[in-house]
């Protein structure tokens, strides 16, 4: 038998469980890339300048899957600014990068409310 303190929150929990996950926003990801990444990386085919030392987003999209990209963006990297992106922003940026690469047989990009994988960048 449920206690009287758990009954009032049961409807809230049922509503949260039934709520659909919010999909990543490619347009938001493109805006994030323009703000944080375009100074070094070629983030779109129409961009005229980038650093020769930084890979293009198309090259990154062709080399790494969504999981690898999420992992990379969740951990600091010495040669990049500390963007401190939120999980929804990471999902958006990954969704944008994936549009620039080849189509793959891989799971859909992480939903905005999923937790990042636990790992370290080497």
Q: What is the pLDDT of residues 29-74, one digit of tens each?
A: 999 999 999 999 999 988 999 999 999 999 999 999 999 999 999 9
For 79-108, write each residue's pLDDT tens digit: 888 888 999 999 999 999 999 988 765 555
The DSSP code sequence of 52-77 is TTSPPHHHHHHH--HHHHHHHHHS--
* Cα 67 from Cα 48, distance rounded (Å): 29
All domains of the chain, ordered by start, with CATH?
Answer: 23-122 (1.10.760)
Q: For the whole model, what pTM was predicted?
A: 0.67
Query: 78 falls in which pLDDT band (50, 70, 90)?
Result: confident
């Amino acid at each position: 038998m449920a206690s009287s303190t758990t009954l009032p929150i049961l409807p809230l929990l049922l509503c949260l469980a039934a709520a659909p996950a919010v999909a990543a926003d490619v347009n938001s990801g493109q805006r994030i890339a323009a703000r944080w990444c375009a100074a070094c990386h070629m983030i779109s085919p129409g961009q005229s300048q980038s650093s020769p030392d930084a890979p293009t987003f198309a090259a990154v999209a062709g080399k790494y899957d969504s999981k690898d990209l999420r992992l990379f963006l969740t951990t600091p990297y010495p040669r990049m600014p500390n963007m401190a992106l939120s999980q929804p922003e990471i999902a958006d940026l990954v969704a944008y990068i994936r549009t620039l690469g080849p189509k793959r047989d891989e799971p859909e990009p992480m939903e905005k409310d999923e937790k990042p994988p636990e790992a370290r960048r080497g």
